[in-house]
Every structure is written in C-alpha cells, then in structure tokens.
Amino acid sequence: MDAPHIEGMKVRAMIGSGNCGRVYLAEDDDGSLHAIKIFDGLTIQRALLTRMTTRLENGGWPNGLMPVTAADFDARPALRVMPFLADPDGDSWKPRSLQHRIDSFPGVQSWPLIRELANALAAMHARRVAHGNLKPGNLFFTESGELQIADWTLGNMPGIGHLDFTDALLYQPPEQLKDPAGYSEENGYRWDVFAFGVLSYRLLTGSFPRCHETFSLVAPPQGETRRDGIHADLPRIARNLENHTQITWPHEPATPLEAGLRSWIDRCLALDPLQRPASMLDVVAGFTAVEHTITLELERENLLDQRRLAERRAWRASFLAGAATAAAILLGCLWQLQTAQVKRERANRDKETQLLQTAADNATKLRDTAQKEAAQAKQALEYEREVALSRIEASRLIGDRLFTWAMEKGHRALPPLDGREERLKRLQRYFEDFLTRTSEIKDLEDERARAHLQLAEIALARGDVEAAPKRLTEAIQAWSVLPKDAEWQLRIGQNRLLLALLLQARSAPQTPTAFANARKALSDVPQTGIDTDRLAQLLAILDFHEAKLLASQGDDPKALEQLMRATQTLNRLAEQRPDSIIPRTQLAACYLSSATILEGMGNLGDAREAHLLATGEIIKLLKERPQDTQLRLDLAGCYGAMAEAAVLSGDITSAESLSAEAMKILLTLVREQPDHAEAVSRLAAQHGLRAGLMRDRGQSEDALKSFDEGIRLLEGIRAAKPTNANATYRLALLWWQKGRMLGFSDKRDEEIALIRQARELLETLETQPRPEGPPDEQLQRSSGYLLGDLGHTYQLAGKTEDAANAFNQAADLWQSLLKSRPQSEEYDESLKWCRQRAKDLN
C-alpha cells in the first residue's frame, strides 16, 4: 500500500501494523522523527476518538500521556501524528514500549512503574476520558524513562465495525467484553481500573491473575506486539473470567506497605464493577492513604520503643540505688564496731535518715519519670485516636464531595460527568436500597439520616416538585435525635431555599410558605463555625426571589425594600471579593429588578438611577466575560431603559446618547447572532425610540423609515415564532406610535387602522398564556393609553359612537388597575379623564 502524503513531513517507511491500522516513520522539516498512525475506517469510532482527544488536549496534555502533535479523524483515511519513541536496532527500530521490556518484570521497577501508571490514568479520568484499550504495547517510555500512555479509545469500543484479536482483550473486564457500548454510559472508568489491576498483577508476579494458562498462550511474547490467526471469542473470554472469582498471590507481601497496596489491586480486580473503585482517582487516593497509614504506624512504633527504653533505664536506676544502699549499710556496720555504742547508734540513725531521704528522692524521680512516660504514652494513644477520628471525618467529607460531584456538573475540584438524569436515578436507588438494608441496624442511625438528606437533595436536583418537600421533611425528622452543628443547619437552610425556588419556578401555591420556612431556617444558623459570607449570600438570594413573588402579587413597596436589602448585602460581598463573578451577577439582577418595580410605581428618576447602577455592575462583569451574550443584552437593556426615562424627562441629548450606546451593542449582537430574537426585538425598540426623537425634531421622513425598520424586524420575529410575547408587545407599540405620527399628518384612516392592529395584538397577549413577556398590569396600562388615543382619533375623524366605545373600554381598564393599586394617582387621573371624554360625547 502506498505511503501517506502529509504536508510538511517526509514519510520514510512503514514500521508496523496492528488491529486498527498501520504505523509509519516520518521526518519533519526540522529533522525531528514522528510516528504517523493511519487508521482503518471500520476499526475506529471517529466521533468518540475526536471528542476524547480534544478533552485531553484542552488545558495542556496531562503528565504520563503521549501528546498528539497533529490529527485528522475526519479524513479518509483518518490519521494521528505522535512522538517517535524507539531506539535504533540494526536496520530497524525497537519501540521503547512495555511490551518490548515485559520479561524484565517482576523486578525492582515494578512498584514505581505501577504508581506512575496509576497517576497517568488518574490524570486521564480527571479530564473525563477513559482509556478502554490498556495493554503493554500501549505503554511507552521517553529517553529519560518517563511513562507515556498512547492509543486511548481504540479497539473494543462502541460502534466499531470490525475487531480482530488483540492482547488488550486479556486485560478487559467481563462487562466490557460483553457490551462495549457501556463506555458511553460512563462505565469506562471502572474498565480502566480492572485493566490496571491485571497489568499491575502481571508486573508484580509475571502472570495473569485469572486464566493464566490460556492467556499466556495467546499473549504476544516480548518484542512482538500481536499474534495472528487467533479468533476473538469475546463472550467465551468473559465466561472464563467469571468462572475464576478468587485471586491468589504466589508469595506473601514483603512489607506492610506492599500488603496495603496489594489490597487495592485486589479491589481493582473485582469481577463486580460496583465493588471496584469508581475511577483511578480513588485508587491513587487509596495508595496515598496506605502510605500515610504505614508512616503513622512507624511513628507509633518509635514512640513505643522510646517508652520501653525509658522503662529499662528506670530499672537500672532502681538496681543501682539498691546496691548503693547495701554498700552504705555495710560500711556503717564496720564504722559502728570501732566507735562507742552511743555514737554507733546516733550515726546509724543519721545514716538511715540520709539513706531514706535519698531513696525517697530517687523514688520521687522514678515516679516523675514514670508519670512523664505514661503521659507521653497517653498522648501517643490520643494522637492515634484523633488520627482515626480524622480519617472517619475525612471519609465522610470525601463521600459528601463525591455526592455533590455526582449531583451536578462543574464542581471546581472534580471533573464534570455526563448523563446527569440517569446518574441521579442511580443515586436515588442506591440510597433507597441502603435505607432498606440497614433499617434494623441501630448503630447506623446517623448514616441513615445522612442518606435521607441526600435523597432530599437528589429530589431537588431532579426538580421533583412532589417528592422534594416530602423527602426534606423526612430528612429533618431523621436528624431530630442527632446532634446538629452549624454546617448542618446551613445545609438545611440552603435546601429549604432551593425548595422555595423550585416551587416558585412551578408557580406552586405553597411558594410563600416555602420562602418563610427558608428564611426561618437561614436566620437560625449560628454565626460561628460556618462561612458567614455564604450565609449572607443565601439570604440575599432569598430576598431577591421573594421580592419577585411580592411584586407579582402587587406588593411593590415591600418587594422594593427586600431588593434594596439584597443589594446592600451583595454590594458588600462584591467589594470583599472583587474577583468573584457570582455576587456581581446577582447584584446586577437586583438592580434590574429594582428598576422594573420603580418604573411600575412611577418613580422614573429612581428607576433611571437603578439602571445606572446595574450598568456599572454589568460593565465590571464584561471585563471578566467580554463575549457573554446575556451580559451584553442586559447592558443594552439598561441603556435603552435610561434613554426612555430621559425622553420622558425631556433630556433629549442624553436620550440620543444612551440610545446610540444601546444600538451599538445590539447591532454587534445581531451581526454575530442573526437569529437571537431578544437582541433583534430590543434593536427594533430602539429604532422606535429614535423615530420618536426624529419626529419631535421635524424629521418626519427619517422617523417613518426608522419606524418601518423596527416593524420589519419585529414582524420577522413574529413570523418565525408567533408565541414570542416580547416581540409581539413591541410590535404593537411601534404600530401604535407610527399610527399617531401619521395622524399628525391628518392621515386618520391609516392612523385608525394601525392603532386597531396594535389593540388586537395586545388583546391577543391578554387572552393567551405567556410564560415570558410583559406582566398583565403593564399590558393593561398600555391598552388603557392606546384606547384613549384611539378614542381621540375616532373623535377627530367624526366617528362619535366608536370614540365613546373606545373611551368606555379604556375607563374599564383603568378602573380595574385602580383596584389593584388604590393609591395610584396615575390610574385615578386616567380613569377620570376617560370618563369625562366619554361623557362629553353623549
């Protein structure tokens, strides 16, 4: 077969072939050597290979992986360029792979290589990539001896059209041999764990852990990468593995450290995938924990050796003291024989007193030494106890973190996972099964309470509005007899807040009660032993969302009060952490909501100030995320709202400047995303605002062109998506405004037609359900003013009956609005005006 042609490289020769294709030696313009692998189309899954290679490459290649210098998996044939890791061997080349060194194991390098392999696979799993094709022929070494893994997601993978026998099958677990499609369901991590266990066992013993007699006959010998003529009967290989449930080692471990590490390899070799570690990240963590435990054990032995040495010293001191006492008594007796009886007795008493005092002093010293050693021994035991408790607490913490990881994507310390809905169902089944199996075990009461709480959080994560309140109540009842620290109270408060937000999103009637429960739970959290900034942020979020509920119920003053409280809190958090984006995002949302409520209350000056503050926060966020579409859209909305406020206050210069800023942002967004309905809709609204400014300056022709351009944009959105409430509302406003402008030129019939069209659109919005778009009060307010203009236009056209009908309809709308806001002077004056105009026509 002809050698491939690759631009910038000179292909020298084919140096090997395998199950997936052929390998060529190539030289680039700098004289560097590369290995080019040309794939057979039926033996690879192009999309999977592309996706996993991209994940590994993003952020730089992890240590222990062979980098792909170039690749084209969509070409015919597909190819991949990698570093050339081989040494000259006469007229040929000898690859620096484990397959070409396999007979050197077991040896002194077995454990270092196993640890290096574990770290490399853990780095792959941290990038959400499972290898799935592990074998000695895919493990290479650099010139300095560092390990590099190659050929991931090849061989027995989902969607492969042709698979020949390869020794990678000898390292694969039964479930991969029977169903390679499981790779797409996140099972590949446990496949790698099993393959790592088989390869580690072989590096340590020279044998396969199971079916060695059969596997050794078909495994390629050192120096060869494949055996031809072997039929790959995958189900039979899987059955043979499943028939050998036990693993035995040919010799005992040399050290306690080796025994601990072997136990992790035994877990990796479990036939049941659920009994294996979930990924190589867990295996590396287990290896590290074993080493730490052995280190602690050695420190404990050293402490005990010191204690035994101190006891021997104390015994020698007691013996010497006794010997000294005996010698002193003997000398005293000799002295007494040479002196008078009285002197002998006095001297004897003095000597005895002195000896007793010395013995007492010695005994005191021995007692102090013994007490000191006992205290040291007690301290050592307390240290061991603290270590054990710390390990238990760390295990629980790891469990909580893994639970959080499994619950949601984007966890900062762990790689995200795919398949969220299915994963949540599996977690739910696991904890429900745990509660069933341990229902009679009293010692696991605290663990069952933890499981109840995790089931509640799973229901919240799934958005199950029926199960979530029930699960959360069960979790709180399960913890009722257990100690509750500040972290637990914060967690319950956060879950109650999540429940309230879930009910609010579903428009459930229990939403106000849920917000009240969440506020009480968060208010009861102690201020010590927790992240107080996190608590303050949660309370601010509660204030923000409850304010939206209050505003929808018409209680604008209280909603505004809560929004201002949330704004103050988020302002403080944003100042304390200027590099954090989340508080600033929430702060901008608070300003925007405050502006909307202030506009509804008629406080246009305050609304403009709130929009100005929101603009400042959004501009800060755009420095961190300059391409964020929603932030740019919000900034354009702020400029547009301030421009409208400036028009109402008569500040035409500011209105033109602010509108120009909004249009500049919106035009850029529409060029980048022509189908972005909200950006096009807001651009049309700005055309309408600028048309009004042109009309007031007497530029009637230009104003009509601007109105027509805005109407054209909105009619295009409505034609593509008739249910877009925002576009429909803005189209009605532009028809209305254009009609009024035509009326200034005495074109009454055209004015009436356009205003009636606008009224029909508003009526459509009032009668149809709208998940998004303007609220009912805003629609009724706009309709009230529109009907007033329509009545006035009918009156000028001499259509008295139609005019009276329009004024009466407007009066009905203003009366309805006045019932919802009895203190509104705007609604009251509008009602009186409409009634008076209708009365004047009779």
Tell me the two tokens of residue 807.
């004024």
CB 174 within 8 A of CB 271: yes
Report CA dihedral (71, 74, 77, 83) to the nearest 10 degrees. Answer: 10
- Which H helix or E strand runs over 797? none
What's the CA gap between 450 and 432, in Å, rounded? Answer: 12
CB-based burial label for 442 (10 Å; 0-12, 13-18, 19+): exposed
Q: What is the pLDDT of residue 418?
A: 45
- pLDDT (tens digit per residue) in 496-511: 888 887 887 777 888 8
Across 442-461, average pLDDT: 83
CB 841 within 8 A of CB 804: yes
What's the CA gap between 117 and 140, in Å, rounded? Answer: 11
What's the CA gap between 634 and 617, in Å, rounded? Answer: 11
CB 243 within 8 A of CB 271: no
Q: Which of 461, 532, 531 is nearest to 498 (CA)?
A: 461
Of 273-287, 467-481, 701-715, 794-808, the range with the highest mean pLDDT is 273-287
- Answer with the residue of higher pLDDT: 7 or 786: 786
Question: Which residues have CB under 8 Å from 556's CB, separation 6+?
Answer: 550, 597, 600, 601
- Answer with the residue of higher pLDDT: 6 or 201: 201
Q: What is the pLDDT of residue 26?
A: 93
Tell me the two tokens of residue 755.
């205003």
What's the CA gap between 511 and 548, in Å, rounded? Answer: 12
Neighbours of 740 (CB within 10 A): 18
- For CA atoms 530, 536, 538, 542, give the dihedral sign: positive
Residue in the block written with tokens 């990038």: 127
What is the DSSP secondary structure assignment for residue 438, as one 8-state letter? T
What's the CA gap between 766 and 596, in Å, rounded? Answer: 20
DSSP string, 314-375: HHHHHHHHHHHHHHHHHHHHHHHHHS-HHHHHHHHHHHHHHHHHHHHHHHHHHHHHHHHHHH
pLDDT band at 727 (very low <50, low <70, confident <90, very high): confident
3-class DSSP state of 189: helix
Tell me the two tokens of residue 771.
């998940």
Neighbours of 289 (CB within 10 A): 15
pLDDT band at 416 (very low <50, low <70, confident <90, very high): very low
Q: Is the peptide bond before 77 cis (omega within 30 degrees of 0)?
A: yes
- Answer with the residue of higher pLDDT: 359 or 817: 817
Question: Which residues have CB under 8 Å from 782's CB, separation 6+?
Answer: 729, 732, 733, 762, 774
Taking CA atoms, 15 is separated from 36, 188, 221, 595, in Å, by 10, 30, 18, 71
Q: What is the pLDDT of residue 620?
A: 60
Across 9-19, average pLDDT: 85
Q: Which of 165, 220, 172 is nearest to 195 (CA)?
A: 172
Report the range of poorest mean pLDDT among 137-146, 610-619, 656-665: 610-619
DSSP string, 467-536: HHHHHHHHHHHHTTTS---HHHHHHHHHHHHHHHHHHHHTT-TTHHHHHHHHHHHHHTS-SSSS-HHHHH
- For CA atoms 192, 193, 195, 196, give the dihedral sign: positive
Helices marked H in 58-142: 110-126
Q: Is the peptide bond before 106 cis (omega within 30 degrees of 0)?
A: yes
Q: What is the pLDDT of residue 578?
A: 40
Amino acid type, 828: D
- The dihedrals phi and psi of 824, each to the nearest 5 degrees, come to -75, 115
Amino acid type, 299: E
- pLDDT (tens digit per residue) in 515-551: 889 888 888 888 776 777 777 777 777 777 777 777 6
Of 291-295, 625-629, 665-669, the range with the highest mean pLDDT is 291-295
Q: What is the pLDDT of residue 205?
A: 96
CB 677 within 8 A of CB 727: yes
What is the DSSP secondary structure assignment for residue 3, as one 8-state letter? P
Residue in the block written with tokens 């509005």: 465
Q: What is the pLDDT of residue 311?
A: 65
Q: What is the pLDDT of residue 570?
A: 52
**460 pLDDT more than 50:** yes
Across the chain, mean pLDDT equals 80
pLDDT band at 679 (very low <50, low <70, confident <90, very high): confident
Taking CA atoms, 685 is separated from 636, 666, 671, 730, 766, in Å, by 11, 11, 17, 7, 20
pLDDT band at 325 (very low <50, low <70, confident <90, very high): low
CB 533 within 8 A of CB 526: no
User: Which stretches does DSSP call E strand in 109-167?
Assistant: 139-141, 147-149
- Answer with the residue of higher pLDDT: 329 or 49: 49
Report CA dihedral (602, 606, 608, 614) to the nearest 10 degrees. Answer: -120
pLDDT band at 394 (very low <50, low <70, confident <90, very high): very low
β-pairing, 79-83 vs 70-72, is antiparallel
Q: What is the pLDDT of residue 310?
A: 55
- pLDDT (tens digit per residue) in 553-583: 767 677 667 766 665 555 555 444 443 444 4
CB 554 within 8 A of CB 820: yes
Report CA dihedral (318, 320, 325, 326) to the nearest 10 degrees. Answer: 120
Q: Is the peptide bond before 220 cis (omega within 30 degrees of 0)?
A: no
Cα radius of gyration rounded to whole Å, the chain: 41
